[in-house]
Chain A
Amino acid sequence: MRDVYAVGIGITTFTRLEYPLAEIAAYASMAALKDSGLRTVDHVYVANMGSGRINNQTALASAVVDTLSLTPVGADRIENGPASGASAIKEGFLGVASGMYESALVVGAERMREVNNLEATDFVATLTHPLAEYIYGVTLPSHAAMFARLYMEKYGVTARHLAMVAVKNQNNAMLNQWAHLHQPISLEGILDSPEAMTNNPWVAEPIRFFDCCPVSDGGAAVILASREVAAATGRPMVRLAGIGQATDTLAVHEREEPTDLLAVRRSAAKAYEMAGTGPDDVDVAELHDAFTILEIAESEEVGFFEKGTGHIGLENGETAIGGRIPINPSGGLKGKGHPVGATGVAQAYEIITQLRGEAGDRQVADARIGLTTNFGGFGNNVITMVYQGVK
């Protein structure tokens, strides 16, 4: 396998967008192509979870490649739940690493606000086990809630720790022009004041409104290329150094230790091995904080903290920008938003921006190695990647 580099990145604002899904994808793609200086690529990968169900549009890749007037270039749509984005990057990596393509456009896009909030939640819930979970009314917030309750009982995580993740990430999002939520929040407002419980109602006990990511529209894109093509662009080169993917039981209740996220642990171990790095080498990370508890648990499973101590590191400011291991400087899913198919690519967008040193007010100093974890299902299918800046 040969080395693969990211040479172009693009993104849309994450918010409610009033234009068609293929155009959301095209906007991010055009930005990435312009950033790379390339006019075309050898293949297009489109990550999306729900177009067939929520936008009444299938075969999205054909629409995207046509909207971009890139025909007759080949194009595939990749669906792997909320990990569609990282799956598509992995496919793009394989296309270039194998020598089959010299360059590839990977774009993730989702338009979830075409339906209302309850329909969007129900749509995402269709990734659960159809007979053993979905029929009961299981949703992703309910999984996060049942997981959080066990984590609180076992490790001493409190509602305050969960709220601290929300405050950190929404405040980081204030520094990110593309983020969905530009709303600074405080522990006072969502936890301590007499109005806090009105501001911050239950979604699934013990998970509250501000423990959940917003439902967003948006797109993000990255151009992957061989060393020769990448060098010729003259753009800063970031190497995709490690990829690890692991799955776990579809029904969450079948996991032997219900507070473990084994697929996160295993995906990170594989990614570190491929990259020849370990958790201590990572300077900045984007973790899949669809719910605040997940940032804490994932920060342990990828090796930044011992199991059961992630909330202590959070409390000590270790995961803030300027801390020992900054997590989600982009705002994460919590602050930036979570257009499900776009999220994995948007994580790559942030890490590549950080490794280029182009993150402005949210720049992590001297970031050389970055990590992304894209969490599909409720930990059913997880992809971790390690990126390395090339001087």
Chain B
Amino acid sequence: MERKLYGYRCRKCETLHYPFRMVCRGCGDNDFFEFDAEPLPRRGKLLTFTFVHNLPAVFEVARLGLAIVELENGIRVTGQIEIDDPELGMDVVGDIGIVRRDAYESRYGIIFRAA
């Protein structure tokens, strides 16, 4: 099964959310189960980034790249980056991979590289 990152679109006002929430920020509609999941685009621009040096012990790397990316449809997501020399505004493309390995499970999320 191909893994994807999903956004959640309100059936009433069509506002797209990421991450999931129970009540729409756009129209405040509070019926239950009023969102449709839809895959988010993989491409976007690097809005901001950092390399973290003091990580929780579960990350067995010396330096981890993190970023906020503005996707093609305007939705922003937080993810990891595997880019040597990132620049603000550069084009990136994301794939789903393992972003964290805890004792009993691997967590999947989006990892961006230069487009």
Contact = CB atoms under 8 A, between A and B. Distances in A.
Interface of A: 117-119, 121-122, 125, 129, 131-133, 135-139, 141-142, 145-147, 149-150, 153, 201-207, 251-254, 258
Contacts, number: 100
A252 B68 contact: yes
Contacts of A142: 50, 52, 66
A125 B56 contact: yes
Nearest to B56: A122
Contacts of A118: 54-57
Interface residues on B, range: 20 to 34
23 contacts: A118-B54, A118-B56, A118-B57, A119-B57, A122-B56, A122-B57, A133-B78, A136-B80, A136-B99, A137-B64, A138-B66, A142-B66, A146-B49, A146-B67, A146-B68, A153-B88, A203-B52, A203-B53, A204-B53, A251-B18, A253-B68, A253-B77, A258-B68
Contacts of A139: 52, 54-56
Contacts of B51: 202, 204-205
Given A136-B99, A153-B88, A258-B48, A202 B68 contact: no
B47 interface: yes
Interface centre among B47, B49, B55 (most CB of A within 10 A): B55
Nearest to A150: B48
5 closest A-B pairs by beta carbon, nearest first, are A145-B50, A122-B56, A132-B19, A253-B76, A146-B48
Contacts of A132: 18-19, 77-78
A179 B52 CA distance: 27
Contacts of A206: 50
A153 B19 CA distance: 27
Given A119-B56, A203-B53, A204-B51, 10 more contacts: A118-B57, A122-B57, A129-B78, A132-B77, A146-B66, A202-B53, A206-B50, A252-B78, A254-B18, A258-B48
Most chain A CB atoms below 10 A, which of B48, B51, B57: B48
Contacts of B18: 132, 251, 254
A209 to B, nearest CB: 9
Given A135-B109, A137-B59, A139-B56, A149 B49 contact: yes
B79 A136 contact: yes
Contact of B78 (A149, A201, A251): A251
Given A252-B68, A253-B68, A145 B76 contact: no
**Could you say which of A132, A136, A202 has the most chain B C-beta atoms within 10 Å of its C-beta?**
A136
A145 B86 CA distance: 14
Interface in B15-32: 18-20
Contact of A136 (B48, B54, B66): B66
Contacts of B100: 135-137
Most chain B CB neighbours (cut-off 10 Å) among A129, A150, A202, A204? A204
B39 to A, nearest CB: 16
Nearest to A205: B51
A239 to B, nearest CB: 37
